[in-house]
Structure 1
Amino acid sequence: MSRPRSSAVPLTAAFALLIVYASLYPFSGWRWPPGQSLQSLLVLPGSHYFIAFDLWANFIGYMPLGALLYGAGVRSGWRWGWALLLAALLPALLSYAMEVTQNFLPDRVPSREDWLLNAGGGVVGALLGGALQALGVLRVWQPLRDRWFIPASAGALALLLLWPLGLLFPAPVPLGLGQCWDELRDLASAAVENTPWEELAEPWLRPAQAERAPLSRATETLAIALGLLGPCLVAFAAMRSRARRAVVTLGALALALAVSTLSTALNFGPEHAWAWLTPATLPGLALGLLAALACTLMPPRLAATVGLMVLTALVAVVAQAPDNAYYAQSLQAWSQGRFIRFHGLARWIGWLWPYAAAGWLLLRVAARGEA
């Protein structure tokens, strides 16, 4: 019998990409450091200043990577010693690569202390993963996962864990993830600028002249319902028990309420924490809840098929919505503060989550040989 793939594997990859993003943001101004040779760039300089928040962020930021690497190793069949060595070394190597690469970015300052703190965080995370295994936490998780999910559920579990992070970014509609076409157009425009293809691509990449009109209340209600139903169907495509599906549905609703409130409070201030509850929000959540409870009766493959249609409709509806009225204000506050990297993480997850979920559901629809 083949070993079920661990959800720690895609989560480790996602967290590593987050570290790359946080280490190299804003990805602009690349140049060779003046007066530096390749050999000198490989020797990390000492830091000239110390900020308590940065010190803790460097250390704590790498701890989850070490823990996830250890979990991915042992859940993939590695001996605990090799998994511990892997989880301790890879974060240090990744951190060193990021610190060296920061030499080529004028807005980033590499330092030996940052590398040591990152490497230390990875080692502590790996040790925490080993401690959790010694306490039997990993042994308890596998039977629990087997009772709740099918063997091929690693991708779904990773997506479900990432979904609330995507909700932290202010969306044009509550739970309306996936509005990324304007940003993709801007990236494509920058890529072809001053090239022979600029004139050819200009009609396709030109921004729309007229601003998008606000969604009607009925359309906004539909978008919110689809935003709740989508992750529920991702879970249903990896579950068999109807009763447990109902529990997951209620959990998704509670999580959507909590994270959306937290997002509004973080972006616009605690006094506006409930401002996301528009006249369309509660009807949309109720409609999504009823639809999800009705879908608990579906077999996993049918749930995956319906989930594909739901996510496609969600992306199509959200693409018609205007930008969040307070987005610019929020982005400026984040960009000028210390949380810009976390904001960037939530932004990318919010943009890409529906497409990643649709890709996983497509694989489930095409899978063969399921019991």
Structure 2
Amino acid sequence: MKALRPRSAASTERPRNAPAAGRASRRNGAPAETSGALPRHLAFAYAALVVYASLHPFTGWRDLGLSPFAFLEGGWPRYWTGFDLAINVLAYLPLGFLVALALRRRLGNFGGALVALLLGALLSLLLESVQNWLPARVPSNLDLACNAAGACLGALLALLVGERLARRAAAWRHLLAASTHAELGVVLLGIWLLTQLSPETQLFGTGDLRQLLELTPAVPYAADSFFLIEAAITACHLLAIGLFARTLLGARIAPAPVLFNFVLGALIVRTLAAAVLAPPQDALAWLTPGAGLGLAVGGAALALALLLPDPWRIALAALALMAGAALVNLAPANPYSAAALATWRQGHFFNFNGLTRIAASLWPYIALPYLTMTVRRRA
């Protein structure tokens, strides 16, 4: 009969010491939970948006013969408002928060927060110095200080709630598809929602490159043709974005109610943005007969497409995305967009308009490679 060996002292003490080690790691600032790739993708996306908003409209570059860091020696700016200060602080707060969350896995909570503060201040310093060559921009040491303060507040916020937020995000991770790139898809979906804040774009329409390439509309405006093209644009993009969102859902999630609520949320965002950025009476100006028909046709097509296998759905999403982008570039000028834009292109809204426009112009051409990568992994 085989004798049983008694457990060693080390083996009996390990369970008692393990929690203490875990508590020690928390005291040293190491994160207790992993936060996944979502904060990293969000940090990169938000940093790109900050760069674009800070340097828009990217025209009229000139050299004044000054040092790019001469603004650091300037005194208090002559013209400033409390709104400007608040905007500069709030603009960098999400950046500091997201960078701190993205770095907490490697550097710990405190290390990630410190690096987030430094990176936020460094990015602001770089952008303020580049503004020396833009006539529409005025570099300011006060802006730099406010941006750094915003990054600091964001990093501190990550210290306070980052670990709790990471645990909640991990608990909700099962809602997403079992893919290493699902978090990137969520970021792309969020950027698409951002494009719906602009009154310039047609409902759900993205991919218009004519303004970036300085091209004129290929089709002259006519009421009948605009009605049909607008309906086709709305239907194609609704089908594309619905199937794109479907690729992000887990296998056990019922897609129909989730997609319905997502589309409804996008319409609410569109309405609220129009009510805030344009006259309130134009809040529902996007609900034209063409857009209404496109919603009905696109919704019916999406309901049928959900019955298809995964590879077919993804291929159909890519096809609808390309068709919608092609139609957007062929469509005549939107008669509503020019009037709506004239009411809100001023001050900080000018930068916001440029931000939403570039996101709307490039979104399909970024989403298409993502769909290609997704279908290859599922094939």
> Which TM-score band applies after superposition, normalised by the shorter structure?
0.7 to 0.9
CA contact (8 A) 2:217 2:331 kept: no
1:68 maps to amino acid:
L
Q: Does 2:211 align with 1:183? A: yes
- Distance in 2 (CA, whole Å) between partners of 1:211 and 1:119 is 49
1:189 aligns with: none
What amino acid does structure 2 have at the position aligned with 1:64? Answer: P
Task: Give yes or no for the alignment of 1:211 onto 2:242.
Answer: no
Name the count of aligned residue pairs. Answer: 344
Q: 2:89 maps to which residue?
A: 59
User: Counterparts of 1:149 and 1:78 in 2: how far apart (Å)?
Assistant: 28
- Please identify, of 12-21 and 287-296, the stretch whose mean Cα deviation from structure 2 is larger: 287-296
On the 8 A contact 1:45/1:110 being kept in 2, the answer is no
Give structure 1 stretches of 5+ with no counterpart.
187-204
8 A contact 2:240–2:316 mirrored in 1: no
1:159 to 2:188 alignment: yes
- The one-letter amino acid paired with 1:146 is H
Q: Secondary structure at 2:179's aligned position in 1?
A: coil
**270, 273, 278: which one aligns with 1:260:** 270
2:38 is aligned to 7
Shift of 1:219: 3.9
* Rg larger in structure: 2
Within the alignment, does 1:140 sit opposite 2:140 as a pair?
Answer: no
The residue that corresponds to 2:153 in the other structure is 124
CA drift of 1:312 comes to 0.8
- Residue 39 (structure 1) shift: 6.5
CA contact (8 A) 1:59 1:120 kept: yes
- Given that 1:230 and 1:307 are in contact with CA atoms closer than 8 Å, whether structure 2 keeps it comes out as yes
Structure 1 residues 119 and 208: CA distance shift in structure 2, 3 A: closer
Q: CA RMSD in A?
A: 2.5
Deviations 1:22-66 (A, max 9, x none): 2222222222224x3467466465422221110100011100111
- Relative to structure 1, the CA distance from residue 41 to residue 251 in structure 2 (aligned partners, 3 Å threshold; closer, same or farther) is same
Among candidates 347, 350, 370, match of residue 360 of structure 1: 370
Deviation (angstroms), 1:128: 1.1
Deviation at 1:163, TM superposition (A): 1.3
The corresponding residue for 2:102 is: 72
Offset from partner CA, 1:171-203 (integer Å, 9 cap, x none): 4532111112x22322xxxxxxxxxxxxxxxxx
1:332 aligns with 2:342: yes
| TM-score for the superposition, normalised by structure 1 | 0.84
- Structure 1 residues 356-365 or 261-270, which shifts more? 261-270
Q: Percent identity?
A: 35
Output aligned runs, 1:312-323, within 5 Å.
Answer: 312-323=322-333
Contact 1:44 1:100 in 2 (8 A): no
Structure 2: state its 5+ residue gaps.
Answer: 1-33
Shift of 1:309: 0.8
TM-superposition CA deviations, 1:139-191 (whole Å, max 9, x none)? 111231233332320221001111111011234532111112x22322xxxxx
Check conservation: 2:175, 2:250, Cα contact below 8 A: no
Give the conservation status (yes or no) of the 8 Å contact 1:212–1:320.
Answer: no
